[in-house]
Every structure is written in structure tokens, then in C-alpha cells.
Amino acid sequence: MSEAEGSGAEGSKAEESRESRESKESKAERRARADYTGGVYGSLLAASVVVGAGATGPVSRLELVLLLLGTGLVFWIAHVHAELFGARLAQRQLPTWRAALHVCRDEWPIVKAAVPPAVAAAVSPLFGLDARGGAWLALAIAVAGQMGWSAAAARRARAPWFLVAVSAAVNLLLGLLIIVFKIFLEH
């Protein structure tokens, strides 16, 4: 608590007032300042999980789905923990429940980014794909998601279309690097 907020009852009233203002923020206002970094990161993480899952031998569809979702959840928890107990404590701020919920919501795109590749792996038999083909489909979906999240972030930042394209292209190149690693590991 800063000296300006006072101590005791005055400090808690100032904190309650600040939290009340934050809670009145509309969903539209929160979306307007949304940060898609977690989505880009989560998609890159999902692509890496697909590549790593097959590096030691064949992986079943169910194992791949569980690896994608479980890894997304673990990294989400790690990011929430780092924000709440790393960044906030470094600034000498004790996390509140409201702050914890806010950070959980802000970091959730990490998990959301794992869902489309996991679904792709799960439904791949509908397209006549074996487990290996399902992994390739999941990888393609993860890379497409990475490009989509980065383009959305650039558009949200009101970047010109040229920079949106550059952002998507850079993320495509990162995704292609992961695909090259997968090809290299399979041979």
C-alpha cells in the first residue's frame, strides 16, 4: 500500500474504491484492451507439444489431446502464478481475489489456443487420418492459430494492414520452423 492511500481503514477503503472502479469496467472495454500475447504463445506452445509428443515414438490421439490440454493448463497456471506472485510482489502489492481472477482471465488465451489443435487431433479419424495424420493436422491448426492470434493482436492495436501481414508472416515462419523440427525428428 502506498503512503498516499494511508493505513488501516483508510487504506482498505481506497483499495475497495479502486476495485469497485475496476469491476464496473464493461466487457467491451476489457476486450478493447485485450492482449493476445497469450494466444500467440499458447499456439506456439501447442505446436511445440505436437512436435515433442512424437519425438520419442508414436502417440495415440487421446494422449496427444491430453498433452495439449494439460500442457496449456500447466503453462496457464505458471503464468498466473508468475504475474500474481512475481510481478505484484516485486511491486510490494499483495494479490487480491479480484486481481487473481483478473489475471486468470487475462492469461486464459494460453489454454484457449490449445483447444483447436486438441479438437483437430480428436476428430482426425473423421477425415480418414491415422494418429500420425492427426498430429500433422493438429500442428497445422496450431500454426494457423498462431498466425490468427498475432493478426488479431495487430488489428486490436490498430496497426496498418501491412504490419498485420508482417505479424502473421513472422508467426508463419516460426510455425514453419517448428514443422521443420518435426520433419527432422521423424527422419
> With 60 as the cut, is the pLDDT of residue 19 above it?
no
Mean pLDDT value across residues 22-51: 73
Q: How confident is the model at residue 27 (pLDDT cuts 50, 70, 90)?
A: low
Q: How confident is the model at residue 153 (pLDDT cuts 50, 70, 90)?
A: confident
CA distance 66 to 57: 16
In sequence order, what are the residues at sequence separation of 6 or more whose Cβ sits closer than 8 angstroms to the Cβ of residue 6? Answer: 14
- C-alpha cell of 108? 486464459
Q: Model pTM? A: 0.76
CA distance 173 to 186: 20
Q: How confident is the model at residue 157 (pLDDT cuts 50, 70, 90)?
A: confident
- Using only C-alpha atoms, the chain has a radius of gyration, in whole angstroms, of 20
Single-letter amino acid code for the residue at 16 = E
Long-range contacts of 148-157 (CB under 8 A, 24+ apart): 148/43, 149/36, 149/39, 149/40, 149/42, 149/43, 149/109, 149/113, 150/36, 150/40, 152/36, 152/39, 153/35, 153/36, 153/37, 153/39, 153/40, 156/32, 156/34, 156/36
76: left (phi over 0), alpha (psi -120 to 50) or beta: alpha
CA distance 168 to 161: 11
